[in-house]
Every structure is written in C-alpha cells, then in structure tokens.
Amino acid sequence: MKKQKVIFICIHNSARSQMAEAYLKHFTCNKFAVYSAGLEPGTLNPTVVEAMKLEGIDISGNKTNSVEEFIDGHIKFDFVITVCDETSAELCPYFPGQGERLHWGFKDPSAIAGNSGDKLKQTVVIRNEIKERIKKFLEEL
C-alpha cells in the first residue's frame, strides 16, 4: 500500500501547519508522508514548541519550509490542506498541482497577545482544535 502524501500549508510554517504535521505523524505512526510549508517561512514559534511538548511531542528540531520547495511537482500530494485563518483576513497561499484541497481555518498562535502564560493557554486551545481536526480527518478516510 502506498503512503498517502499530505501537505499542510499556512503563512509562516511556524505554528499551525507544524502542529498539524506533527499530529498526523504521531497518530499514524508515520504511515503517511507528511509535510508542512508556508508562504513566508519564519522561525518556529517557541510557544507552539512548548504546547506540543506538553503532549509529549517534540517539534523543537523542525525547520520551517517554503511552499516554493514543493511547487515543482516532485511530490504528488493526495491532500493539500490549508490551515490559515481567513476570518482574520489571512490569505491562504495558492498551491498548484493535483490532490484533494481542504481548508481548516485556525487562529494564528503568533497573533496572540499577552504574557507568556496567556499565550501558552490560548495556544493549547488552538493545538487541541488542530488535534481534534486531525482525528476527524483520519476517521473520515
């Protein structure tokens, strides 16, 4: 059986797409080929790293990737999933090629204001939303 290929895309590849990638890998024991990328790759969000660590998932060694690395078509994705928050006027990047297109809108943890405790608390809420959406995705397959 061939591994299904999934890419999660957002703006900076520093938070939401990283969490989605990590959860899909975690829940499927790497039975999927999973990637994540951003339109303007930034640096990994330390609050997201901390929130995932609370789940026992270490993403601290992950790097952020640009969608440009995947646009040439060398990987044929089965699913292209955008995770940006269009309700906050975020524009999700266009990704050419084949594959089923899905959009899951999540608030951007990088946009959370407040002290580090407030940021972590709100990031955990977003993390849990992403975790539940990944579980639902797997149930629907």
* Catalytically annotated residue among 92, 105, 121, 129: 92
Which helix (H) or strand (E) segment is 33 a member of?
Answer: strand 33-38
* Catalytically annotated residue among 24, 37, 39, 84: 84
- Distance of alpha carbon 77 from alpha carbon 34, whole angstroms: 9
Listed residue (5, 26, 32, 30) closest to 95, CA to CA: 5
* Catalytically annotated residue among 6, 9, 10, 134: 10
10 catalytic per annotation: yes
29 catalytic per annotation: no
Coil, strand or helix at 10: strand
Query: What residues act catalytically?
Result: 10, 84, 92
